[in-house]
Structure 1
Amino acid sequence: MSAAGNGTWNSPYTVDQAVSNQNGSTQSVEGYVVGQPTSESSVVTNQFPNDYALALADSPSEANTDQMVYIQIPSSYRSSFGLQSNPGLMGEKIKVTGSLTAYFSHPGVKSTSAFESLEGGETDPTDPPTEPTDPPAYEEYYNTAEGKTGDALKTALHNIIDDHQTLSYDAVWGALRNTDEDPNNPNNVILLYSGRSQSKTTNGGGVNDWNREHVWAKSHGDFGTAQGPGTDLHHLRPTDVTVNSTRGNLDFDNGGNEQSEAPGNYYDSDSWEPRDEVKGDVARMIFYMDVRYEGDSGEVDLEMNNNVNNGSAPYMGKMSVLLEWNEEDPVDEREIRRNNIIYEQYQGNRNPFIDHPEWAEMIW
């Protein structure tokens, strides 16, 4: 049976051969599913965070990540081969076709074009999702980014998300009541840093009110609250007024003193560390802003760097830490829901790094 349409499908590599031949060639690889990679040296074997990746080994009991190859799962195959939706795949033998190239800075198979279960036969990628909460594919939306990496991928994504409508700054209040609604209480919003559920109507400037936090601090590039970056919902979140004031325009990094009103958040003179539950959210918002605002059409050019203390320059750090946070805190249902609402009801564009968090590593 040929599922890939080329001769490599019927003579697959072992995992050991795939690890040893990371040369960018397109090959089929056969191995046992042994978990989901979450970083270069970490593979989880239960409580899978999403359906975006899996690890293969030549032995179903392999525990050494050096003996594994990491597989990137495109959205058309996630409902059938993602481990969050299909934990029963653990220990099964499958065959995958794709490009032998690093994934999570580890020997990998990316740009995958075919998957086959050797236990139960080939799976049709058009099968309906097994979980209604799977991330939407929106593959046509990203067509022009397919197969690209590095600057070419960044440029393609910029062109996809560039043209969109933003609200007035006053209209942002109402939008945040929708995008950040507490799923357990429709009268409340969830505040980004504290995690507190608070009445939608208690917005303003009072000590215990919530206000509009620019996650990419508006002074970093001096874009203020004008339409465009100043009102882009993809990085605006409700936060407690005093917690927002403490964060100010600090760059992002690990460490510091705990913020008393928002336990789990830390800060010092030049950086802010959000609570673990939203570290990835923050990173993916920063990635979006870097890609979306490139200096064309008279807009500011926003760029990440690896510094703190960026002040009013159009830079935001610390890039290496943000990339770590992207891997440590995977995309969750609230982020997916938020991305969909902004796309469908307000701006008509998406945050690509919520749909494809692996693209951050491929660009930076």
Structure 2
Amino acid sequence: MKKNFTLIAFLLCSVIGLAQIPSGYYSSATGSGYTLKTQLFNIIKGHTDLGYAGLYVTYTTSDIDLYYENNGTMLDMYTENPTGPDTCEYTYGVNQDDGSGGTAECQKYNREHIVPQSVFGSATPMYSDAHFVVPSDKYVNGQRGNDPFGRVNVPTNTYSNGSKKGNNLNSGYSAGYSSIVFEPINEFKGDIARMFFYFATRYENQVAGWSYPMFNGTSNQVFTNTFLNILITWHNNDPVSQRERDRNNAIYARQNNRNPFIDHPEYVCQIYPTQCATLSSDNFILENVVSIYPNPAVNYEITISSEVELNSIVLYNINGQIIQEIKNPTRIDNSYKVNNLQSGFYLVQLTSENATTSKKIIVN
């Protein structure tokens, strides 16, 4: 549902806000590049492990819905609908996973490891680290399985809030991988990216020994070029929200460490300056050679003018669901036509060989 802060939400956020960043917490984070990443590791390592059962206790302050329905139910990134009623709503302590159910959405909830627990052999303290282990619908959690996160090309499965899985879109900023990935809705892409950056930093001393399609076997860059580009793009396109700040504070109050990339989003590009500069340059170039007209559309048709050839044109509705996808569209006189549109508000994602950009359009 549409974001809605009430007095109750404001008061609870104020209480959680008492656990703000401690004075001097990041005073030793003075470097740049991988030096900064190691400095952050030394700040956040050694957190209090409250055990796997302790996650459910943490969730009662870290993952409650005070931002959408604003009714104190569980906030699940895989089923939360930011713009309308949720299909699933869970109350903590009710319908908690007991080993049964979970054959469809809305039956049970459990704990989702954003980095699959199989990657680190279910070892502690990773197994119960709330900064990247989140409450989720059991069915969608199982559907995601151990799949990496990425940009779905053509969905094989789509879930109630628009989350989906399918082969990765092997072009633009996600070029270099074509196997199955799971894609959350736009509302939570930055949240998940910052969880990955936290994981790569908090477990810097172990991650090089763990195998996963998103990892490159190092302790510095950690991620393959493809997935680093995806995570940086999601981080930049979906800025830190109040919900993330409140979650960070609530987890700090429980396990005594913080996610630095929520407190200081600029750390991402200070650690990975080359990749950030490349992505920024690519998007700037495509942004300035593409235009869409008329906007609002006339006769349910738009024209896309582009000085470079486009590999794909994808229209998303406000829920992040694909409405129309055109691969290798026909280009005539540097223009593309998209027609048979229905009335509504859309995000048009345009992808060339090396870059991606998005435009908003209205169809009356």
TM normalised by structure 1 equals: 0.56
Q: Does 1:182 align with 2:90?
A: no
The corresponding residue for 2:194 is 284
Q: Tell me which residue corresponds to 2:328.
A: none
In structure 2, do the counterparts of structure 1 residues 322 and 135 end up closer, same or farther at CA, with 3 Å as the change threshold? farther
* Aligned ranges 1:82-93 → 2 under 5 Å: none
Q: 1:213 is paired with a residue of what secondary structure?
A: strand
Structure 1 residue aligned with 2:165, among 249, 255, 267? 267
Aligned to 1:252: 149
Structure 1 residue aligned with 2:36, among 149, 153, 159? 153
Per the alignment, residue 142 of structure 1 pairs with 26
Q: How far apart are residue 260 of structure 1 and its match?
A: 3.3
TM-score, normalising length from structure 2? 0.56
User: Share of identical aligned residues, percent?
Assistant: 35
SS of the residue aligned with 2:74? strand
- Partners of 2:249 and 2:258 within 8 A in 1: yes
Determine which of 240, 246, 253 is the counterpart of 2:137. Answer: 240
Question: How far off is 1:136 after superposition?
Answer: 4.4
CA contact (8 A) 1:290 1:302 kept: no
Q: Using the alignment, how far apart are the partners of 1:260 and 1:266 within structure 2? A: 4
Question: Which residues in structure 2 correspond to 1:88-99 (within 5 Å)?
Answer: none
* Aligned-partner Cα distance in 2 for 1:303–1:355: 28
The answer on whether the counterparts of 1:284 and 1:353 sit within 8 Å (CA) in structure 2 is: yes
- Give the partner amino acid of 1:294: E
Cα drift, residue 238 of structure 1: 0.9
Q: Structure 1 runs of 4+ off > 3 angstroms?
A: 132-139, 302-305, 307-317
Counterpart Cα distance in 2 of 1:175 and 1:137: 18
Q: Deviations over 1:74-121 (max 9, x none)?
A: xxxxxxxxxxxxxxxxxxxxxxxxxxxxxxxxxxxxxxxxxxxxxxxx
1:202 aligned partner:
95
Paired position in structure 2 for 1:353:
261
Separation (CA, whole Å) in 2 of partners of 1:326 and 1:259: 24
Task: Note the 1:1-364 alignment, pairs <5 A.
Answer: 136=20, 138-146=22-30, 148-183=31-66, 184-186=70-72, 188-195=73-80, 196-200=88-92, 201-204=94-97, 205=99, 206-207=101-102, 208-220=107-119, 222-224=120-122, 226-256=123-153, 257=155, 259-268=157-166, 269-295=179-205, 300-301=206-207, 308=213, 318-344=227-253, 346-364=254-272
* Structure 1, unpaired ranges of 5+: 1-131
Structure 1 residues 313 and 353: alpha-carbon distance in aligned structure 2, compared to 1, 3 A threshold: closer
Deviation per residue, 1:278-327 (Å, 9 max, x gap): 000000000000000023xxxx325999x847699997661110110001
Describe the superposition over 1:110-141 as per-residue Cα deviations: whole angstroms up to 9, x where unpaired.
xxxxxxxxxxxxxxxxxxxxxx9899454510
**CA root-mean-square deviation:** 3.0
Q: Distance in 1 between matches of 2:252 and 2:49?
A: 11
Question: Separation in 2 of the partners of 1:179 and 1:311?
Answer: 31
Q: 1:1-45 CA distances to partner (integer Å, 9 max, x unpaired)?
A: xxxxxxxxxxxxxxxxxxxxxxxxxxxxxxxxxxxxxxxxxxxxx
Q: Quick one: which amino acid aligns to residue 57 of structure 2?
A: G
Paired letter, 1:323: I
Greater RCO (CA < 8 Å, at least 6 residues apart): 2
SS at match of 1:233: coil
Query: Aligned letter for 1:351?
Result: N
- Contact preservation (8 Å) 2:208, 2:217: no
SS in 2 for 1:212: strand
Measure the CA separation in 1 of the matches of 2:140 and 2:55.
Answer: 19
Distance 2:271 2:230 in 1: 15
SS in 2 for 1:194: coil
Aligned partner of residue 231 in structure 2, secondary structure: helix
5+ residue gaps, structure 2, are 1-15, 81-87, 167-178, 273-364
User: Which residue type is aligned with residue 79 of structure 2?
Assistant: S
SS of the aligned residue for 1:219 comes to: helix
> How many residue pairs align between the two structures?
223
Distance of 1:323 and 1:252 partners within structure 2? 13
- SS in structure 1 opposite 2:258? coil
- Cα distance, 1:361 vs structure 2: 1.2
Paired with 2:189 and 2:208, the residues of 1 have a C-alpha distance of 20
- Conservation of the 8 A alpha-carbon contact between 1:304 and 1:316: no
Contact 1:258 1:265 in 2 (8 A): no
User: In the TM superposition, what whole-angstrom CA distance separates every residue of 1:318-359 from its partner, at most 9, and x where no partner exists?
Assistant: 111011000111111111001001112x11100000001111
* Amino acid in the other structure paired with 1:143: S
Q: Which whole-Å deviations, capped at 9, do the CAs of 1:251-295 have from their partners, x for residues lacking one?
A: 111114164333321212521111111000000000000000023
- What is the one-letter code of the residue matched to 1:267? K
| Residue-by-residue CA offset, 1:228-264 (whole Å, 9 max, x unaligned) | 1111010011111110011111111111416433332
